[in-house]
């Protein structure tokens, strides 16, 4: 709660929260907000602001198949938020639980888990994505798997370092002496101390995963068409961007804005985490 209060005092965090909230609302209420069906063919390559045959406006124009770009952007918010939050949640569940175990028990378990994490970290991330998605096929579930492989090791390292540190503190020793189970010690004593650094990482990772979903879409490895997906929209419009820049500019603005918001929020959280650790 103290963290939240501090967040509200930072303008960049407020901006991040606001953009995040707007994106969330857009994703939730996409069917109500979108003026058209994102898959419906209206006027191919219509320019921004032109009027569709039925008299409605295509505010951001239409793509090469005549689909309304604004509606696709709005539905695309859902795609990006859904898959990036699912992937991030999966990475955090794996990373945090493995990190807790490794840091708490140490020894051979720690050595083994750390070795696996370091092996995965040896891959350049894009290479890892490409390998996993090309061998298993492009689908939402495989995006989640690929992102988990790529980012769980990072989360693991943060959690493990904190757990290792906490393991030797008096309050943890006290809890163990009281006869609390290992699970209770990890969940109630160690995990709460890791919340702020994990939260800062969560924001950043959520943003990066949103980029990843976009990049995979751009490389044609994301969700299969015709799913509205910001990265995919850029990939589809790229070759016609000379004549019709509106095909690519709007999805790029959308993803950049969302990313900027997430980074600012994460930066503010890190500042707060640093401040509270100094005090």
Partner 1 sequence: MLHFIARRFLVLLATMLAVSFVVFAALELNIEDVATHVLGQFATADQRHLWLAENGYYDPFLYRYLRWLMHFLIGDWGRSIHFKEEVTTLIPYYLKNTAMLAGISLAVMTPLALLLGVLAGMREGSALDRMISFFAIATTSIPQFASAVFLSGIFVFWLHLLPGASPMTSGFAWRELVMPVLVLVLAGTGYLTRMTRASMVEVMSSAYVRTARMKGNSFARVVLRHALRNAMVTPVTVVMLYIPWLLANVVVVEVFFAYRGFGTLLYTASLQHDVFLIEGCTMVAVVAVVSTQLFSDLAYVWLNPRVTFDAPSEKTAGAAA
**In this chain, which stretch among 40-48, 92-100, 103-111, 213-221 interacts with partner 1, using CB under 8 A?**
213-221
**Other beta carbons less than 10 A from residue 49's beta carbon:** 11
The span of 28-36, 65-73, 126-134, 174-182 binding partner 1 (CB under 8 A) equals 126-134
141 binds partner 1 per the rule CB under 8 A: no
Task: Return d(Cα 145, Cα 139) in angstroms, integer.
Answer: 10
Piece of the chain touching partner 1 by CB under 8 A; list 49-57, 79-87, 188-196, 247-255? 247-255
Q: Which of 134, 139, 181, 276 binds partner 1 (CB under 8 A)?
A: 134
Tokens of 97: 């639980």
Q: Is there binding between residue 100 and partner 1 (CB under 8 A)?
A: no
Cβ-count burial 213-246 (b if 16+ within 10 Å, e if not): bbbbbbbebbbebebbbbbbbbbbbeeeeeebeb
Taking the C-alpha atoms of residue 63 and residue 257, their distance in angstroms, rounded to an integer, is 21
Using the structure block, give the residue that is written with the tokens 């350049």. 124
**Is 43 a residue that touches partner 1 (CB under 8 A)?**
no
Contact flag: residue 238 with partner 1 (CB under 8 A)? yes
Tell me the C-alpha distance between 19 and 14, whole Å: 9
The maximal CA–CA distance of the chain, rounded, in angstroms, is 76
CB of 202 to partner 1, least distance (A): 16
Q: Counting contacts by CB under 8 A, is residue 94 touching partner 1?
A: no
* Of 30-38, 56-64, 171-179, 253-261: span binding partner 1 (CB under 8 A): 253-261
Candidate residues 123, 140, 180, 193; the one interacting with partner 1 per rule CB under 8 A: 123
Nearer to partner 1, 73 or 248 (CB): 248
22 scored as a contact of partner 1 (CB under 8 A)? no
Find out whether 3 and 17 touch, Cβ atoms under 8 Å.
Answer: no
> Would you count residue 18 as binding partner 1 (CB under 8 A)?
no
How many residues are there in the chain? 279
Number of shown-chain residues binding partner 1 (CB under 8 A): 40
Task: Tell me if 106 sits within 8 A of 220, measured CB to CB.
Answer: no
Binding partner 1 by CB under 8 A: which of 112, 256, 275, 276? 256
Residue 136 sits at the vertex; the CA angle it makes with 134 and 140, to the nearest 5 degrees, is: 95
One of 19, 146, 159, 264 touching partner 1 (CB under 8 A): 264
CB of 255 to partner 1, least distance (A): 6
Surface-to-core class of residue 59, CB atoms within 10 Å of its CB (0-12 exposed, 13-18 middle, 19+ buried): middle
The residues that touch partner 1, with contacts defined as CB under 8 A, are: 12, 115, 118-119, 122-127, 130-132, 134-135, 207, 211, 214-215, 218-220, 231, 234, 238, 241-242, 245, 248-249, 252-253, 255-256, 259-260, 262-264, 267
């Amino acid at each position: 709660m103290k963290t939240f209060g501090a967040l509200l005092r930072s303008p960049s965090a407020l901006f991040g929260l606001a953009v995040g909230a707007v994106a969330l609302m857009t994703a939730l209420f996409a069917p109500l907000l979108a003026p058209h069906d994102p898959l419906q063919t209206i006027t191919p390559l219509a320019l921004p602001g032109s009027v569709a045959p039925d008299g409605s406006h295509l505010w951001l124009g239409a793509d090469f198949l005549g689909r309304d770009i604004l509606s696709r952007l709005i539905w695309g918010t859902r795609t990006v938020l859904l898959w990036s939050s699912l992937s991030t949640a999966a990475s955090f569940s794996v990373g945090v639980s493995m990190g807790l175990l490794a840091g708490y028990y140490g020894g051979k378990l720690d050595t083994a888990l750390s070795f696996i994490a370091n092996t995965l970290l040896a891959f350049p991330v894009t290479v890892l994505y490409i390998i996993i998605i090309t061998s298993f096929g492009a689908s939402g579930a495989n995006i989640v798997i690929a992102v988990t492989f790529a980012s769980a090791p990072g989360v693991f390292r943060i959690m493990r370092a904190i757990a290792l540190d906490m393991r030797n503190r008096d309050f943890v020793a006290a809890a163990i002496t009281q006869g609390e189970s290992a699970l209770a010690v990890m969940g109630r004593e160690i995990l709460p101390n890791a919340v702020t650094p994990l939260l800062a990482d969560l924001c950043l990772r959520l943003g990066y995963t949103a980029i990843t979903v976009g990049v995979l879409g751009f490389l044609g490895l994301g969700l299969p068409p015709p799913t509205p997906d910001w990265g995919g929209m850029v990939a589809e419009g790229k070759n016609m961007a000379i004549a019709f820049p509106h095909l690519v500019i709007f999805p790029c603005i959308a993803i950049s804005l969302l990313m900027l918001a997430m980074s600012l929020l994460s930066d503010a959280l890190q500042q707060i985490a640093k401040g509270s650790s100094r005090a």
